Amino acid sequence: MPELPEVETVRRGLAPVMEGAVIARADVNRPDLRWPFPERMAQRLTGQRVERLRRRSKYVLADLSSGETLLIHLGMSGRMLISGDPLGKFVHDHPAPEKHDHVVFHMENGSRITFNDPRRFGAMDLMETAREAEHKLLAVLGPEPLGNDFYDSILVEAFKGRNTPVKSALLDQRIVAGLGNIYVCETLFRAGISPKRKAGRIAAAKVAAMVPIIRDVLAEAIEAGGSTLKDFKQADGELGYFQHSFDVYGREGEACKRAGCDGQIARVVQSGRSSFYCPACQR
């Protein structure tokens, strides 16, 4: 599932052709994805100007001139693909419709944005912009790791007394929003902390030190266009490249990259997810 860097990469790709543009027509080709689409979704989108594109955690949010916000979740295999861009950033002509093109935005500027999702784990919803904090998917989210509300004392306080592994704590969207399996593994390697350590038993100084590491890992991944493992592509159809910089993720049995460490990357399953780490230098 795309994590924060992949979703931010998609948002940045969509912004030049969607922000300030009017949706001339919206085609909704099925009644649902992971959940049913909101009532009259096509009609509520048609004719609206996209005032602003934002990201919250793993969701893209499009603020509309109607006072509503469109929430987009890519799910496991969802892609937002741009064609016919009048700004000249994308060279793709409008392709022929495909089986899994579930929602299509025809923009007045001549571009077309297609939401394609073969596995249909994605989702879209419409909500009042002024009440977005009450939305069931957003109300439970913790601070944004790249935002001003995420700092060392917040993470230290969140970890106090927690008997869960640090890997699980960092994946808890109530503690910090947007982190997923890949970037938690990479963060813990840089921090020198085993994913099996109990969150509440890590020294406050080490917990605090994870905050800038989290920011660095995410910023580097965004700069690289995210990580492409299976389905993820950027909005222009290009692949992300951060997977070529992984220190631990997916490297089971390979040599540790840390200077002076002769360990090998191991894999352990935690809550049904694979954790990759170096037992020799992550304690």
Which residues form the catalytic set?
2-3, 58, 273
Determine the length of the chain. 283
Per-position DSSP letters for 179-213, written without gaps between them: --HHHHHHHHHHHT--TTSBGGGS-HHHHHHHHHH
Query: 61 near 149, Cβ under 8 Å?
Result: no
Stated as kind and residue range, the H or E segment containing 128 is: strand 123-128
CA dist list (Å): 147 to 101, 142, 211 = 33, 11, 11
Measured distance CA(108)–CA(141) in Å, rounded: 34
**Sign of the alpha-carbon dihedral angle for 8, 14, 18, 20:** positive
Measured distance CA(62)–CA(15) in Å, rounded: 10
CA dist list (Å): 178 to 172, 174, 206 = 9, 10, 21
Phi, psi of 55 (to 5 degrees): -130, 135
